[in-house]
Amino acid sequence: MSRQDLKWVFSDAQAITSVGDTDGTDTVDIGRTSPRIGGGTPLWFNAVVNTLFTSSGSATLLAKIEHGTTNALGTTLVSGVAIAKASLTAGKVLLSVPLPPECLRHIGAVFTVGVSAMTAGKVDAWIGTSPVYDP
DSSP labels, 105-130: SEEEEEEEEESS--SEEEEEEEEESS
In a domain, 58, yes or no: yes
Is there a contact between 58 and 85 (Cβ–Cβ < 8 Å)?
yes
In a domain, 134, yes or no: no
Q: What was the pLDDT predicted at 34?
A: 63
Give the pTM.
Answer: 0.90
pLDDT (average), residues 101-108: 86
Q: Residue 3: pLDDT above 50?
A: no
What is the sign of the dihedral through the CA atoms of 37, 39, 41 and 44? positive
Q: What is the CATH number of the domain that holds 18?
A: 2.60.120.1110
32-86 confidence digits (pLDDT tens): 666 666 557 788 999 999 999 999 999 999 999 999 888 888 899 999 999 999 9
Q: What was the pLDDT predicted at 5?
A: 47
**Domain, as residue range, for 66:** 4-128
Q: What was the pLDDT predicted at 4?
A: 46
In a domain, 135, yes or no: no
In the chain, the number of structural domains is 1
In a domain, 133, yes or no: no
Give the strand pairing for 60-68 and 20-29.
Answer: unpaired
Q: What was the pLDDT predicted at 92?
A: 98
In a domain, 120, yes or no: yes
